[in-house]
Amino acid sequence: MSISAVARAADLSVSTVSRYLRGELRVNPDTEARILGAMEHTGFESPRLGLRRLALIVPELANPYFSQLAQAIANATASRGLGLQVLVSNGLASRETALMAECAASPEVDGVMLVSMTGRASPLRSLPGDFPVVILDERIHDESSRPFVGVDNFGGAYQATSYLLSRGHTSIVHAAGPSTLDSARDRLEGYRTALRDRGIEADPNLIIEGPYAEAFGESVLTRLLRLDDAPTAVFCGSDIVAIGMIAAAPMYGVSIPRDLSLVGFDGIPQGEWVTPRLTTVTQPIEALARRVLETIESGPTSGQAAEVRLPMQIRVAGSVAPPPTR
């Protein structure tokens, strides 16, 4: 069957049906129902020629970074006249797989933007090769066939550590994210390289790995207090970890930044609500949202998936001071 048969069955012009199927024309719900009904009646199957409705899969919305990213993408899709579903995977590979399969089978989803916290490629392996998917924010192991849009985590971590070094700190802890994540490994390497460039070898005892959570920030603080030679600064791999440290500090008699300086990572608004305001490396959230939509709209590139990494910038606030006099 042809588009002409669909147009006759729907009592519409061929141009209207064709432009709708290419994603070039938005129609009212009644007209859309007529087109879809005519396609079913005639047995016409159209490839996904245009993007009208997208899905964003995120690990959680409790972490302010992911809710901020989801809001930025919602704004960007709305400005393009696109629909958006936000789906939560709870950071589980099985849930990511189920959601991806549902999206690929659904006539209500024309493409997916995936933020994974598992680092696994398995949720992508069952998808048709032509189904539009962009991996966002977190690179996935052994996955080079799909476009990726993220940030320069190495460069951001290098900036954060270099700033602490410039303020006189040489004993700097890195509260790192899970080593299963590409972003956490890049941030760790940026931290190590900044120290090495100043002639300092990273001390494995000052690298503490944990989840991106406030409770982890408090646990890092209590661990530092047990050290005989206390470090003077912490570079946190996530703002939410740094906020956890700031919140817990008064309970342990620690003054920030007088006793301990902190730099976070992400630039979430909550970092400006705490006292002292958090010095952090900011994610270019709005630019990320624009680039991921541009990438998914452009379709497959010739032969090789695109990889975009946007630069980051440090935002200096009140959580860093020179090292205390011992």
Winning range, highest mean pLDDT, from 50-54, 78-82, 118-122, 278-282? 278-282
What does the pLDDT read at residue 186?
Answer: 96
Across the range 278-289, mean pLDDT stands at 96
Q: Which two tokens stand for residue 212?
A: 């991106």
What does the pLDDT read at residue 126?
Answer: 73
pLDDT at 302 > cutoff 50: no
Taking all residues of the chain, what is their mean pLDDT, rounded to a whole number?
A: 89
- Count, residues in the chain: 326
Answer whether 0.85 is exceeded by the pTM. no
Residue pLDDT, tens place only, 126-166? 777 778 899 999 988 766 678 999 999 999 999 999 999 99
Across the range 231-240, mean pLDDT stands at 97
The alpha-carbon radius of gyration of the chain (Å, integer) is 24
Between 178 and 19, whose confidence is greater?
Answer: 178
Between 81 and 279, whose confidence is greater?
Answer: 279
- Nearest Cα to 133, choosing from 156, 165, 101, 162? 101
Q: Are strands 313-315 and 111-114 parallel, antiparallel or unpaired?
A: unpaired
Determine which helix (DSSP H) or strand (DSSP E) holds 173, and give its type and residue range. Answer: strand 172-176
> What residues contact residue 159 under an 8 Å CB cut-off, 6+ apart?
190, 281, 312, 313, 314
Q: Pinpoint the alpha helices (H) of 80-168.
A: 93-105, 122-125, 153-166
By mean pLDDT, which of 30-39, 45-54, 156-165, 307-316 is the weakest? 45-54
Q: Map out the domains of the chain with their CATH numbers.
A: 3-42 (no CATH), 53-151+287-311 (3.40.50.2300), 153-284 (3.40.50.2300)
Instruction: Identify the band that residue 56 occupies on the pLDDT scale cut at 50, 70 and 90.
Output: very high
What does the pLDDT read at residue 236?
Answer: 98
By mean pLDDT, which of 29-38, 212-221, 302-311 is the weakest? 302-311
Compute CA distances 43 → 33, 36, 38, 217, whole Å: 15, 10, 8, 57
By mean pLDDT, which of 16-20, 100-104, 181-185 is the weakest? 16-20
Instruction: Identify the band that residue 118 occupies on the pLDDT scale cut at 50, 70 and 90.
Output: confident
What does the pLDDT read at residue 15?
Answer: 80
Winning range, highest mean pLDDT, from 115-119, 122-126, 312-316? 312-316
pLDDT at 49 > cutoff 60: no
pLDDT at 48 > cutoff 90: no
Across the range 94-121, mean pLDDT stands at 89
Residue pLDDT, tens place only, 164-222? 999 999 999 999 999 989 999 999 999 999 999 999 999 999 999 999 999 999 999 99
pLDDT at 80 > cutoff 50: yes
